Structure 1
């Protein structure tokens, strides 16, 4: 084994090589049109015993532990960046997709396996449960910086952030039914609602506690605040899971609460968690790549059966579940088809596929290989074509204007100022005005303007344009006032626009 032969120094070198490889493939994945998770998995296979032969890894328990840890970090980061104002409008359809949608997908996929292959009904339904949910890591990565319409992006992100608990519940329930035949199926139903209820309650309460704690505690270094937030994420999962609730749901809800609260050191917390989530993705997919053996995966039976099941999942199970889950809701057939196509499978099914191996179930290794191949197919076929399909269906929104720059405010915990980033738009009342004409709250100053990825040094005669990123330095006690001022200005601008439209109609 590599670690035993070369020791600690070589282990650290290997870790560095894996991270270097992950960073470089993440940089080029969008350019190549290949989802990053595919490339991360290939790196794991390359370093594995049947690749370069550097690492031999077949510990399902460790793979499961690393996978769960990484998923907590990824869900937390995704929840932090989710705007409640956007999600609120799609909460009902997303919840329907995350529960009824996962159940229907699992049942259709499971019964397909039962009729196509020589597996028992419970084993077939277990497969369906494992591949039933979309994957937060895959969906967040696929939609990031892509100009999909806001409604579609919000629906998919909210669904993928909240559907893991349903998949975990179904997977563990079918494992329990297989290992303990005396278990009553009807007794499992109230357990589901109990787990979801605890996940919501603990997530909301611990999210509020985290927000208050981050704002109230005075740490000696601003670098400690992001670590403090991660500690809350891990604690939320653990406390919720220990109490019998859904830890994944608890983490996502807590992150949603934290991300939509007024936070001190917000920029540092968000940036740290984004980087940490990338590291978690690299680690998780590389480990999962190490865990699979290509000689067992790329065999004729696995590939033929995997392609057949992928087709059933992508073309039948997922669309049927989406159309039924969104029945009577304000989604066109075109939008439902896109949501069906964008339901990517990723790390969650692979991690869930380790559960039967850990439990020692019969056919568990074959089941794992089949799930792994289905995930690879889904990520490669669907993940690489999301932008193309959205364009063909005319579901492309305005281009996401993500600033490729950063302005850091260094603090030692005693400063009482914060840098606020605000992007103007065509409706902003400040657009078209010169800086000396804008009345900002006391002790609030524009420190820099980013326009077309160029830094503009502001002075009194500088005119504000639509799309400008304003970096405003403001004392903490005036931050809420500044936010109200900016929002009021947008509101007034909209009111003026409505008045102008009414006047034009009269004329």
Structure 2
């Protein structure tokens, strides 16, 4: 019992200290994943002396943690994301991975003077982006990107694991049992991985969502049911040689988009489980590492990471997205940059250790993969916001509710409670809280909070800067309602970006030309503004897409809940 309690104590203190240190990491702009990885290395045999080299246990913990992270990511993925970026994400997750692996594999083979199969295996291990890193860093980067970029990156990282696993399995087989490897077997494996992952994920997700809507449980058990159901589907799909990672991600998508009382309140719990999974996974992977041995390959790993980041990934992304005319060059450049590597490459690097690849070669693969992950998080992970700013990719922060909570009155009946903070100089300041609802017929005041206390609202009540006002309000009106609470400075920045005027999507180009003296070709003059944007950016224009006619810039300003354009902003040229 003493040894068991020592293990619990060490793991507890590592997790606890990692969470505390994460505050410093955030202030320094360092990815939190590096904090957990660093704590694991610090606790290892060349740090505090914990010797851990059980690759089987590390693989079990890593795969279970990745399944939990993908499940949580799926729960937060709206179906409209698939409408925006499914085809480009599939291209990146298939051809993009193949192209990246091919380019990096050739380079690694010649640079390291190793057998080509080993070089391509090394490239396959680090060839796919990592869902844990992408979900975590994009959603905590503090920058607002347009939905096309965000959706493409998140979908790519959520569905590209099957291709990477397939390539790793293929080249391990070619090294260990070359006589058993065949093109037909490889294609069959790919179809089986994708087909079963897709089928099991969609079917199980639909069944789990239906069960959650029918079964009445204690509130705390819903998250447990979702987590256990996800792990069940993950393991069952793997047993049938399908892609468990794809299946569990799709389960999350199906459950997260089934709007009912049992699924809406579990996101915070699942978020905590996902963070625990990330922390545990990176701590364990850090414990596997012997720093002095890993750093002996430091220069080689730096060169390989440089080739991956600056050559292989950009070429793979460009060749995948060049067929989609809606991606501007700067968007392709940014997607290329956010090709984050994380736990998946390290987990894949363990497989050669367990599958009989020569120990010396397997150790090289693990050490290089580990350093590539470190370098990717350091170089790319710390510069997500800076690169977005340099490429002018950041949208102005739009006024939005401070908080949004659903109160379920019946199985299929809910009301939204939205809160708004009164900014200094806003329209809400010095106004009666109920007066702001006049143009919103289905809105009503719920509570007004000042100095952490509710105050009684009477005929003479006026809101002050810093007050928090809660309203019963439809969720789709939240952003429009929030404009009344935004500071003049925030409204000015939004106006400077989108323009002074709001234009309806159905307006004809001929009408715009007449009103603003624009030169519009006769063959498109009767087209609507929305049709012009769809011609330029595909079926799904997103906020920030813009077209310019004679210096008059028209920009997509607002989308509805289904990602259809709700309004455009029009900006006149400066005189």
Q: TM-score range by the shorter chain?
A: 0.7 to 0.9
1:147 equivalent in structure 2? 143
Deviates most, 15-24 or 309-318: 15-24
Give 1:463 shift: 10
For residues 370-385 of structure 1, the aligned pairs below 5 Å read 370-385=368-383
**1:56 corresponds to 2:51:** yes
Give 1:263 shift: 2.6
Query: Which of 325, 329, 333 is the aligned partner of 1:333?
Result: 329
Quote the Cα distance in structure 1 between the aligned partners of 2:354 and 2:114: 19
Contact 1:421 1:470 in 2 (8 A): no
2:491 equivalent in structure 1? none
Query: What CA deviation, in whole Å up to 9, does each residue of 1:61-117 have, x standing for no partner?
Result: 111111100100111111111122133211111110011101111111111111111
Query: Which of 391, 395, 398 is the aligned partner of 1:397?
Result: 395
For residues 267-282 of structure 1, the aligned pairs below 5 Å read 267-282=264-279
Query: Which of 259, 265, 270 is the aligned partner of 1:262?
Result: 259
Give 1:469 shift: 9.4
Task: Name the Cα RMSD after superposition.
Answer: 3.7
Gaps spanning 5+ residues in structure 1: where? 475-481, 491-495
SS of aligned partner of 1:94? helix
In the alignment of these two chains, the number of paired residues is: 475
1:137 equivalent in structure 2? 132
Go from structure 1 to structure 2 and tell me whether the alpha carbon gap of 1:269 and 1:262 turns closer, same or farther (over 3 Å shift): same
Give 1:176 shift: 1.5
Go from structure 1 to structure 2 and tell me whether the alpha carbon gap of 1:34 and 1:416 turns closer, same or farther (over 3 Å shift): same
For residues 373-452 of structure 1, the aligned pairs below 5 Å read 373-399=371-397, 420=416, 434-435=436-437, 438-440=440-442, 447-448=446-447
Quote the Cα distance in structure 2 between the aligned partners of 1:190 and 1:460: 71
Give 1:489 shift: 11
Runs (4+) of structure 1 moved beyond 6 Å? 400-409, 413-417, 453-458, 460-464, 468-474, 482-490, 499-507
Give 1:375 shift: 0.9
Quote the Cα distance in structure 2 between the aligned partners of 1:324 and 1:416: 46
Query: What CA deviation, in whole Å up to 9, does each residue of 1:3-31 have, x standing for no partner?
Result: x9x42322222122112122123333221
Go from structure 1 to structure 2 and tell me whether the alpha carbon gap of 1:414 and 1:386 turns closer, same or farther (over 3 Å shift): closer
2:284 equivalent in structure 1? 287
Contact 2:445 2:471 in 1 (8 A): yes
Give 1:421 shift: 5.0
Quote the Cα distance in structure 1 between the aligned partners of 2:259 and 2:274: 22
Gaps spanning 5+ residues in structure 2: where? 421-425, 427-432, 483-501, 517-575
**1:313 corresponds to 2:279:** no
Go from structure 1 to structure 2 and tell me whether the alpha carbon gap of 1:295 and 1:403 turns closer, same or farther (over 3 Å shift): farther
Larger Rg: 2
1:493 equivalent in structure 2? none
TM-score (ref. length: structure 2): 0.74
For residues 57-456 of structure 1, the aligned pairs below 5 Å read 57-145=52-140, 146-150=142-146, 151-182=148-179, 183-219=181-217, 221-299=218-296, 302-329=297-324, 330-362=326-358, 363-399=361-397, 420=416, 434-435=436-437, 438-440=440-442, 447-448=446-447
Quote the Cα distance in structure 2 between the aligned partners of 1:86 and 1:458: 42
1:25 equivalent in structure 2? 21
Contact 1:148 1:387 in 2 (8 A): no
Greater length-normalized contact order (CA 8 Å, ≥ 6 residues apart): 1
Quote the Cα distance in structure 2 between the aligned partners of 1:10 and 1:114: 44
Contact 1:447 1:458 in 2 (8 A): no
Query: What CA deviation, in whole Å up to 9, does each residue of 1:329-349 have, x standing for no partner?
Result: 121111111111110111000
Give 1:143 shift: 0.6
Go from structure 1 to structure 2 and tell me whether the alpha carbon gap of 1:73 and 1:34 turns closer, same or farther (over 3 Å shift): same
Query: What CA deviation, in whole Å up to 9, does each residue of 1:21-74 have, x standing for no partner?
Result: 221233332211111111111100111111011x21001111111110010011
Quote the Cα distance in structure 2 between the aligned partners of 1:499 and 1:459: 40
Quote the Cα distance in structure 2 between the aligned partners of 1:334 and 1:88: 22
SS of aligned partner of 2:416? strand
SS of aligned partner of 1:325? helix
Give 1:459 shift: 5.8
Q: Comparing both structures, which one devotes a greater share of its residues to helix? A: 1
Deviates most, 399-408 or 334-343: 399-408
